[in-house]
Structure 1
Amino acid sequence: MEQDLAALERIISQMPDSFECLEEMQEAQAYMEQAREIFLIEREKVSVELERLSKMKKFVQTERKKSINTHF
């Protein structure tokens, strides 16, 4: 996945401002579709990780409250 991202970054940075033929446009479109797919996959991974961290934070806060309440 990291190699795909690096390759896409390199290709996109080298992409011309205008295209000379339909083939170049179609190739650019294919690269952009690949980049979009990678972005969506990575976004989902980040979303899952944020949800996991949120649950962990709530758990820690709950346990902290329980610990404080048992000391009084």
Structure 2
Amino acid sequence: MANIAVELLNNVVELTMRFTDVALSDPLSALLLTMGALLTGVSMLALGYLALGAVGDAMVGDVTQGPPQQGQ
């Protein structure tokens, strides 16, 4: 199990170095990497917000509705 964690950490470090090399190669590459990261981050935040709202709604249920009214 420790071997997998070490390999994962090594891969993350290598991936970071490769992204840095690509971003520093020219300004357009840096802009494209930044925009891709922003689009991915915003979409993940939006999905997380919606999922959290769905879980909260499923747990809480319908609390805004009061007791039924008689004679209406």
TM-score w.r.t. the length of structure 2 is 0.52
Residue type at the aligned position of 1:56 = A
> Offset at 1:25?
2.2
Distance 1:26 1:56 in 2: 45
Distance 2:26 2:55 in 1: 43
Q: Give 2:45's aligned residue.
A: 43
**Bigger share in helix:** 1
TM-score w.r.t. the length of structure 1 is 0.52
Identical amino acids, percent of aligned pairs: 7
Q: Give 2:54's aligned residue.
A: 52
Listed as ranges, the gaps of 5+ residues in structure 2 are: 1-14, 64-72
Residue type at the aligned position of 1:46 = G
Distance 1:48 1:32 in 2: 24
Runs (4+) off by over 4 Å: none
| C-alpha RMSD of the superposition | 2.5
Q: 1:1-72 counterparts in 2 under 5 A? A: 10=15, 13-14=16-17, 15-16=20-21, 19=24, 24-59=26-61
Aligned residues: 46
Higher RCO by CA contacts (8 Å cutoff, separation 6 or greater) = 1
Distance 2:32 2:51 in 1: 29
